[in-house]
Amino acid sequence: MGEFMNMLKMIFATIVSFIICLILGSIIIPELHKLKFGQSIRNDGPKTHFKKAGTPTMGGIIFIISVVITDLIFSKWDKYMALVLLITLGFGLIGFADDFIKIYYKRSLGLNARQKLLGQFILAFVLAYFAKSFIGTDVIIPFLKRNIDLSIYYIPFVIFVIVGTVNSVNLTDGLDGLVSGVSFMVMAFFALITFFIGNTSLFIFAAAFTGGLIGFLKFNRYPAEVFMGDTGAFAIGGAISALALMTKLPVILPLVGIIFMIEALSVIIQVISFKLTGKRIFKMSPLHHHFELSGWHETKVVYVFWFVTLIAIFAAFFSVS
């Protein structure tokens, strides 16, 4: 009976967050238009993106608010909920500051790299420290189905994972519906994982995020009415990192977040290749731009990346079951 009620809670949290996001989107997007909070487009980006200039950004506040409201309705506020929300909102605030500077000064770059990384490292340390206190320093190794205690290496490892995840999500946010589609599947994965381990706070949080992202996708799919901006991408990266740590599954992130990892690697490979040889491996990085410049329509890239994520998530379930 208890599992059945928890399942209902998870389903209702997903639905309620979805509905709240739809309502908020219809209210907030027109206001973003009035405030002229439009996106600036990189001059060196694909030419097909120039028409997107002026599309409202900072839309991540829509699903962030829906998640918070849904959590207030359905969840008990324990240390787990407090931590995952603190980290999500903290990273969201860094992204918000970045977006605001871009909009205010009408430029494609906001906070500089040092400022963003400082904030990210501080939040990553906070999450690592409390995760260590709450659940210990061991992590689950997928497929092997055994735990390894990282001991003194836990906090450095976790900080690396968190900062890497947040920035990988942000790099992926370059096509309409790409990050919102990939992320709702990743969140659904963690909703089910946290449900099976019986952590009510975490599965309500993950379910609320899943519903909010599905609702946001209605406005963010091609052609997008609104972009999530760094506000949304950073918040998603923080939330995914927090869920991975609280379930002792940070090692599974390269699998469930395979698109995030590939996108980040494409940028690293491109930079290293150009510095060492003066040549570029890809027509443009991150990888989604390479496919665009190879003749793929934006929607084809997005749908293929969604499909790859879905396959990876099935593999991830197998690895931990």
pLDDT digits (tens, 9 = 90+) for 214-250: 999 999 999 999 999 999 999 999 999 999 999 999 9
Residue 189's H or E segment, with its range, is: helix 178-197
Task: Kindly state the average pLDDT of the residues 10-29.
Answer: 97
Q: Which domain holds residue 165?
A: 2-320
Was 98 annotated as part of a binding site? no
Using only the alpha carbons of the chain, give its radius of gyration: 19
pLDDT of residue 138: 96
Is 60 exceeded by the pLDDT of residue 1?
no
Which of 111-120, 123-132, 161-170 shows the lowest mean pLDDT across its residues?
111-120
pLDDT of residue 40: 62
Residue 140's H or E segment, with its range, is: strand 138-141
Q: What percent of the chain has pLDDT over 70?
A: 94
Was 71 annotated as part of a binding site? no
Higher pLDDT, 295 or 40: 295
Higher pLDDT, 147 or 49: 147
| pLDDT classification of 271: cutoffs 50, 70, 90 | very high
| pLDDT classification of 33: cutoffs 50, 70, 90 | confident
How many domains does one find in the chain? 1
Residue 149's H or E segment, with its range, is: strand 146-149
